[in-house]
Amino acid sequence: MYNAGKVITGIIIFLIIVLSPFWYNGLTGKTAYVPLLKVPDTAKQCVESTQYMKENHMELLNSWKETAVRQGKKTYTAKDGKTYGINLTGTCIKCHANKEEFCDKCHNYAGVKSYCWDCHNYPKTGAWEQKTAGSRK
Amino acid sequence: MNRREFLKVAGLSLAGLTGWQTFNLLSGGAFAKSLPGVQNSVQKQWGMVVNMEACSRKAGCNDCIDACHRIHNVPDLNSPKDEVKWIWTASYDKVFAEQDHAFSNKGLKNRQIIVLCNHCENPPCVKVCPTKATWKREDGIVMMDYHRCIGCRYCMAACPYGARSFNWKNPRPFIKEINQDFPTRTTGVVEKCNFCEERLAKNLLPACVEACEEKALTFGDLNAADSELRRILNTKFSIQRKPHLGTQPKVYYTV
C-alpha cells in the first residue's frame, strides 16, 4: 500500500477519537450506571412480582385501562389473589408516591416518554402540579 | 350429484340454519339478545328525569353544575368560544325549540333548563366515531374513552344537543382545584358527561342528583318497573329533547 504507515496511524487515531466517549465511560465506570430507584418503604411487594413488574408494567397498565374504562370493571385480582382498585393515581402512585424518583427516573434512563400524566394526576412536592403544557398533539 | 340432489341438500342446509336461529330467537338465546331492540331483562338501563318546576324554585342555583364540574375537573375557561361543559343551562325556547310558540307561557319561555348528555338509545355520536372512542355500554351509558379520542370532532357535529366540548387549550390551568381522584383531560380531546359512571361503580348516585337540594333530578333504572324514575314517568307528563330525531334520549323532563 502506498503510504501505509501514515494511513494506518491515521485510522488508529481516528478510531481513538471516535470511540473516546466509550473509553471514557468504560474507564470511569459509567457504563455500569443504572438509575437508583426510590422504592416505597410503605410496602414490600408490588401488585405483581418485581420481575414481572419490571418486564410487564406497561402491558399491565394497558390492560387496566381497557378493563376499567371499556369493560367497567374497577378491581384487579393479582396472581397471589390480592385485589387492587384499578387506578393509576390511586393505586400505583399511592405507593410509588415519588413518581420523579421512580417512574420518571427509569423512563428517562430508558428513553421512554409516557403521556399519561397530561391527564392523570400525581402529587408534586405536596401540591398538585398544574402547569405542564398538557398537549399530546 | 345432479342438479336435483344439489337443490335438495342446499334447501335443507338453509332450513337448518334459519331453524336454529328461529329456535334461538324464540328461546331467548344469545342470538336473540344480540339483536337490537331485544332487551335483556336483567340489564340495567340508566335514565334521568328532570322536574323543571322544582329545578326553577331557587333562582340562579347552580349546585348540580358546580358539583359535577368540581369532581370531574371540568375547566372554567370563561369564554363561550372555548367553553367546556358536562351539565349546563339553556333557556326553554332553546332547549325545547319545537315546543315553544309565539304565545307560550312567558315564565316558561325564559326559564333556564338544566341540560346534559342524553345518553341516547340511538346515539349519533357513536355512529360517526372513527376510533370507537365513544360507544354505548350495555347499561345505556354513552361512554368516552379519552385514550382513544383523536380529536376529530365528528361526534360534536353529530350530536344534536351540543353535549360535547372540545379542549382547545390545556385545561389544567383553568381548574380551580384539581380533584386527584379523576383524571383531567388534555388539549385535543372531546369530553362530555359520563352519567357518573365512576360513582355508579361505587353504588353512589350521580353528583348532580346528589347535589340538588330541591330533589329536581331523579336517577334510576328504566328497566326496573318499581323504580322511582319509572313511577314518575308513569304518573306525570314527560317530554324529551328533539324526540323527532329518533335518538331516544334517556333524560326526560316533567313540566
**Position of cell 380531546?**
B189
Residue B125 carries which side chain, given as an amino acid letter? C
Residue A50 sits at φ, ψ, to 5 deg, of -55, -45
Residue B168 in any domain: the answer is yes
Interface test with A, best of B143, B180, B194 (most A CBs within 10 A): B180
CATH code for the domain in which residue B205 is found: 3.30.70.20
Residue B207 in any domain: the answer is yes
Interface of B with A (CB under 8 A): 137, 143, 145-147, 151, 170-173, 175, 178, 180-181, 183-188, 197-198, 201
B173 to A131: CB separation less than 8 angstroms, yes or no:
yes
What percentage of chain B exceeds 70 in pLDDT? 93
Query: pLDDT band at B13, cuts 50/70/90?
Result: confident
Helix (H) or strand (E) holding B220: strand B217-221
A72 to B180: CB separation less than 8 angstroms, yes or no:
no
- DSSP helix/strand/coil, B219: strand
Query: pLDDT band at B14, cuts 50/70/90?
Result: confident
Task: Kindly state whether residues B23 and B136 are assigned to the same domain.
Answer: no
A70 contacts in chain B (CB < 8 Å): 143, 145
Among candidates B145, B181, B184 on the partner chain, residue whose Cβ is nearest the Cβ of A69: B145
- Report the number of secondary-structure helices (H) and strands (E) in chain B: 11, 10
Q: Structural domain tally of chain B?
A: 2
The span from the CA of B189 to the CA of B183, in Å, is 13
Task: Kindly state whether residues A55 and A26 are assigned to the same domain.
Answer: no
Question: Side-chain half-sphere of B67: how many Cα atoms within 13 Å?
Answer: 16
Among candidates A72, A89, A131 on the partner chain, residue whose Cβ is nearest the Cβ of B201: A72
What percentage of chain A exceeds 70 in pLDDT? 88
The span from the CA of B239 to the CA of A101, in Å, is 56
What percentage of chain B exceeds 90 in pLDDT? 75
Q: Are B179 and B171 in contact (CB under 8 A)?
A: no
Interface test with B, best of A58, A64, A124, A137 (most B CBs within 10 A): A137
A134 to B197: CB separation less than 8 angstroms, yes or no:
no
Among candidates B137, B151, B173 on the partner chain, residue whose Cβ is nearest the Cβ of A137: B151
Query: pLDDT band at B82, cuts 50/70/90?
Result: very high
A88 contacts in chain B (CB < 8 Å): 183
Q: Are B152 and B57 in contact (CB under 8 A)?
A: no
Residue B182 in any domain: the answer is yes
- DSSP helix/strand/coil, A51: helix
Q: Which three three-digit cell numbers place residue A11?
A: 485510522
Task: Kindly state whether residues A24 and A58 are assigned to the same domain.
Answer: no
The pLDDT assigned to A131 comes to 40
Residue span of the structural domain in which A8 resides = 1-32
Query: pLDDT band at B17, cuts 50/70/90?
Result: confident
Average pLDDT, chain A: 85
Residue span of the structural domain in which B29 resides = 3-33
Residue A83 in any domain: the answer is yes
CA proximity to A69, closest of B141, B67, B177, B41:
B141
Task: Kindly state whether residues A61 and A116 are assigned to the same domain.
Answer: yes
CA proximity to A86, closest of A67, A100, A105:
A67
How many other C-beta atoms lie within 10 A of the C-beta of residue A127?
8
Query: pLDDT band at A126, cuts 50/70/90?
Result: very low
Task: Kindly state whether residues A65 and A121 are assigned to the same domain.
Answer: yes
Residues 6 or more apart whose CB falls under 8 angstroms from that of A58 comprise none
Q: Are B165 and B59 in contact (CB under 8 A)?
A: no
Stated length of chain B: 255
User: How far is Cα of residue B50 from the mean position of the Cα atoms in its chain?
Assistant: 14
Residue A95 in any domain: the answer is yes
Is B213 or A134 the better-scoring residue by pLDDT? B213
Judge whether residue A51 has pLDDT over 80: yes
Task: Kindly state whether residues B21 and B111 are assigned to the same domain.
Answer: no
The pLDDT assigned to B20 comes to 76
Judge whether residue B248 has pLDDT over 60: yes
What would the pLDDT profile of B129-177 be if each residue is shown by its tens digit? 999 999 999 999 999 999 999 999 999 999 999 999 999 999 999 999 9
The pLDDT assigned to B41 comes to 53
What would the pLDDT profile of B25-75 be if each residue is shown by its tens digit? 776 666 656 655 554 556 899 999 999 999 999 988 999 999 999 999 999
Residue A38 in any domain: the answer is no
Task: Kindly state whether residues A28 and A56 are assigned to the same domain.
Answer: no
Residue B40 in any domain: the answer is no
Distances in Å between the Cα of B20 and the Cα atoms of B7, B14, B33, B80, B194 are 20, 10, 15, 56, 39
B183 to A72: CB separation less than 8 angstroms, yes or no:
no
Is A26 or B45 the better-scoring residue by pLDDT? B45
Task: Kindly state whether residues A60 and A28 are assigned to the same domain.
Answer: no
The span from the CA of B222 to the CA of B46, in Å, is 6
Is A94 or A29 the better-scoring residue by pLDDT? A94
User: Is the alpha carbon torsion for B175, B176, B177, B181 positive or negative?
Assistant: negative
Judge whether residue A137 has pLDDT over 50: no
What would the pLDDT profile of B110-131 be if each residue is shown by its tens digit? 899 999 999 999 999 999 999 9
Residues 6 or more apart whose CB falls under 8 angstroms from that of B163 comprise B115, B116, B117, B118, B192, B193
Average pLDDT, chain B: 91
Give the residue on A whose Cα is nearest the Cα of B141. A72
Residue A112 in any domain: the answer is yes
B145 to A128: CB separation less than 8 angstroms, yes or no:
no
Q: Structural domain tally of chain A?
A: 2
B147 to A121: CB separation less than 8 angstroms, yes or no:
no
User: Is the alpha carbon torsion for B51, B57, B61, B66 positive or negative?
Assistant: negative
Q: pTM for the complete prediction?
A: 0.83
Interface of A with B (CB under 8 A): 65, 69-70, 72, 74, 88-90, 115, 118-121, 123, 128, 130-137
Task: Kindly state whether residues B13 and B137 are assigned to the same domain.
Answer: no
How many other C-beta atoms lie within 10 A of the C-beta of residue B238?
15
Distances in Å between the Cα of B106 and the Cα atoms of B16, B100, B238 are 64, 10, 20
Interface test with A, best of B172, B194, B198 (most A CBs within 10 A): B172
